[in-house]
Amino acid sequence: MKILVCIGNVPDTTTKIRFDNEMKNLDTNGVQWVINPWDELALTRALEIKEQSGGKIEKVSVINVGKADAEPTIRKALAIGADDAFRIDAEPENAYFIAAQIAEVAKQENFDIILAGKEASDFNEAATGSMIAEFMDINSVSAVTSFDFVDGNVSLKREIDGGKETISVKTPFVAIVQKGICINPRIAAMRGIMMARSKPIKVSNPVQTQVLVEYKAFDLPQPKAACKIIDPVETDKLVDLLHGEAKVI
């Protein structure tokens, strides 16, 4: 079996979000690029499962839709332990476009399990994983918080309102994963970084897709009014304000 992990290349979570004058593009000056946090968890879990599978899982690959500037992030995934990588050489326009590209590679390469994160921390579409599954007409399980592989069988847990369901699913499938599948992402060790240098990144051109949406412009939230500070002994007053002024209780 082969696992494909989708990795987004996103601004580090501490990035101050600013745009160009037209409010069209992110101002990327000084931005640090990282593997999308959930994708890092997905990759970590995929590697754990591979190691426990007694050879049943032959390889874990990563895929990114992005231009050449995403390669350092892909190398990082290889350094963490992915066996090889795919990069579709295109601007990652939106979830629909990205998913179409990934589905194409996943089909050609016969991946059995595809992992995507619950959302990318740039555009937060929370859509790519499910879209890949529909492009391929295969199963998808969302909100996955636990992923086990025992005796060749996959068992997933997904979050539902106020609880969890244990799900069995036929391969191939896409799992859209979140916190819980593992706690801390694996960190690249020196040896991994050295080995990553010689691991292959297969670069291909994008396939044509339809354009279904158009981004107009970005906009920043209104600055918040100053916080009203209430004396620690005046908790009654806070309650009054929440009731009378803010009207939330």
Partner 1 sequence: MSIIVFSESRNGKLKKNSLEAVAYAQSIAVATSKPIVAVSVGNVDDQELALLAKYGATKIISVTNQNWLAHDSREYTKLLAEITEKENADTILFSHSNMGKAIAPRLSVRLKAGLISGVVAIPDSFAPITAKRKAYNGAAFQLVSVKSDKAILTLNPNSCEIKENPVNVNIEVYAPKSAYNAETKIESVDVVTGKVILTEANIVVSGGRGLKSGDNWAHIEELANVLNAGLACSRPVSDEGWRSHEEHVGQTGKIIAPDLYIAIGISGAIQHIGGVSGSKVIVAVDKDKDAPIFKYADYGIVGDAFDVMPRLIESFKKFKNL
Ligand X SMILES: Nc1ncnc2c1ncn2[C@@H]1O[C@H](COP(=O)(O)O)[C@@H](O)[C@H]1O
Ligand Y SMILES: Cc1cc2nc3c(=O)[nH]c(=O)nc-3n(C[C@H](O)[C@H](O)[C@H](O)COP(=O)(O)OP(=O)(O)OC[C@H]3O[C@@H](n4cnc5c(N)ncnc54)[C@H](O)[C@@H]3O)c2cc1C
CB 115 within 8 A of CB 172: no
Q: Look at the block and give the residue holding tokens 């991946």.
A: 111
Nearest approach, Cβ of residue 201 and partner 1 (Å): 27
Q: Which residues pair with 59 in a beta bridge?
A: 2
Candidates 74, 99, 105, 114; binder of partner 1 (CB under 8 A) is 99
Candidates 43, 57, 85, 98; binder of ligand X (CB under 6 A) is 98
Contacted by 92, from ligand Y, partner 1, ligand X, none: CB < 5 to 8 Å by type: ligand X
What end-to-end distance do the CA atoms of the chain give, in Å? 54
- CA-to-CA dists, residue 27 to 14, 68, 103, angstroms: 14, 18, 30
Nearest approach, Cβ of residue 13 and ligand Y (Å): 4
Task: Decide whether 13 or 25 has the Cβ nearer to ligand Y.
Answer: 13
Candidates 2, 3, 35, 39; binder of ligand X (CB under 6 A) is 39
Structure tokens at 74: 């892909």
Contacted by 214, from ligand X, ligand Y, partner 1, none: CB < 5 to 8 Å by type: partner 1
Instruction: Estimate the crossing angle of helix 128-136 against helix 95-108, to 10 degrees.
Output: 50
Q: How far apart are CA 180 and CA 219, in angstroms?
A: 33
Task: Decide whether 113 or 133 has the Cβ nearer to partner 1.
Answer: 133
Q: How far apart are CA 130 and CA 236, in angstroms?
A: 48
Candidates 13, 52, 153, 166; binder of ligand Y (CB under 6 A) is 13
Nearest approach, Cβ of residue 155 and ligand X (Å): 21
Of the candidates 168, 119, 130, the one whose C-alpha atom is nearest the C-alpha of residue 146 is: 168
CB 87 within 8 A of CB 111: no
**Does residue 172 interact with ligand X by CB under 6 A?**
no
Q: Which residues pair with 115 in a beta bridge?
A: 5, 175
Contact set for partner 1, span 151-210 (CB under 8 A): 155, 158-170, 173, 176, 179-180, 183-184, 210
CB 114 within 8 A of CB 98: no
Task: Decide whether 104 or 119 has the Cβ nearer to ligand X.
Answer: 119
Candidates 8, 37, 66, 129; binder of ligand Y (CB under 6 A) is 37
Interface with ligand Y by CB under 6 A: which residues?
Answer: 13, 37
Interface with ligand X by CB under 6 A: which residues?
Answer: 6-8, 36, 38-39, 63-66, 92, 95, 98, 116-117, 119-120, 123-129
